[in-house]
């Protein structure tokens, strides 16, 4: 009678097949992941090359923006200088001293004045004539000097000896003179604000 041999299953074959399946599954997962990433990048245009014309347009736009920023900076600096110049104080001496009778007294006063403005010196005080009109004086104050001096004299004659001998009285006089000058300029030049900011007494004699 023939002997029947027991055939034992080969353990290596069964284990090797399982491992191979695992490797294949892992590779498939990796391929799917990489494919998904590549597909997303392709969809958003990551791999697209920008046309040369578009690159040139972007470069030109960047250059124009830089130039505009530079111009804005220069414009701001110029405006700042203009404002600084506008608020510099300019002085002007009123020609000749004023001689007037003191109100309520037999005394006579002789007084001289200078005035100040924050506006452009030439616009306010230039005594030169305009290039286009030789009969037109550039500065507003010299242009209306006769009217200004008349208004100033009327204000001086309104102050009494008791007022003029005090510091406060002299300050009141200069303020009245300032308002009188601005009133004349407002009448003839139509400014939007007071052009004369201060009046100073440069000489004073009462006898």
- 179/192 same-domain check: yes
Q: What would the pLDDT profile of 51-79 be if each residue is shown by its tens digit?
A: 555 566 776 777 777 777 766 655 555 55
What average pLDDT does this structure show over 3-28?
61
pLDDT of 106 higher than 50: yes
- 107/33 same-domain check: no
Highest mean pLDDT among 35-39, 53-57, 77-81, 90-94 belongs to: 90-94
Query: Is 34 inside any structural domain?
Result: yes
- 128/35 same-domain check: no
- 62/155 same-domain check: no
Query: Is 194 inside any structural domain?
Result: yes
Radius of gyration of the chain (CA): 47
pLDDT computed for residue 4 by the predictor: 47
Q: List the alpha helices (DSSP H) in the chain.
A: 11-43, 52-86, 121-125, 140-143, 145-156, 161-164, 167-189
- 82/99 same-domain check: no
- 78/96 same-domain check: no
Q: What would the pLDDT profile of 141-160 be if each residue is shown by its tens digit?
A: 999 999 999 999 999 999 99
Query: Is 3 inside any structural domain?
Result: no
Domain of 28 in residue numbering reads as: 13-86
What average pLDDT does this structure show over 88-103?
96
């Amino acid at each position: 009678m023939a002997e029947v041999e027991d055939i034992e299953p080969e353990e290596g074959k069964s284990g090797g097949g399982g491992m191979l399946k695992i490797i294949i599954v892992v590779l498939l997962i990796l391929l799917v992941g990489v494919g998904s990433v590549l597909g997303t990048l392709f969809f958003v245009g990551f791999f697209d090359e920008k046309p040369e014309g578009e690159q040139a347009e972007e470069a030109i736009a960047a250059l124009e923006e830089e130039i505009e920023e530079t111009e804005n900076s220069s414009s701001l600096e110029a405006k700042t200088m203009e404002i600084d110049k506008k608020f510099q104080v300019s002085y002007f001496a009123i020609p000749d001293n004023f001689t007037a009778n003191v109100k309520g007294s037999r005394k006579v006063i002789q007084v001289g004045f200078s005035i100040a403005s924050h506006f452009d010196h030439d616009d306010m005080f230039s005594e030169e004539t305009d290039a286009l009109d030789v009969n037109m004086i550039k500065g507003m104050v010299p242009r209306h000097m006769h009217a200004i001096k008349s208004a100033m004299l009327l204000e001086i004659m309104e102050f009494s000896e008791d007022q003029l001998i005090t510091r406060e009285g002299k300050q009141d006089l200069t303020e009245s003179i300032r308002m009188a000058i601005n009133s004349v300029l407002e009448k003839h030049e139509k400014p939007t604000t007071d052009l004369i900011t201060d009046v100073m007494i440069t000489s004073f004699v009462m006898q």
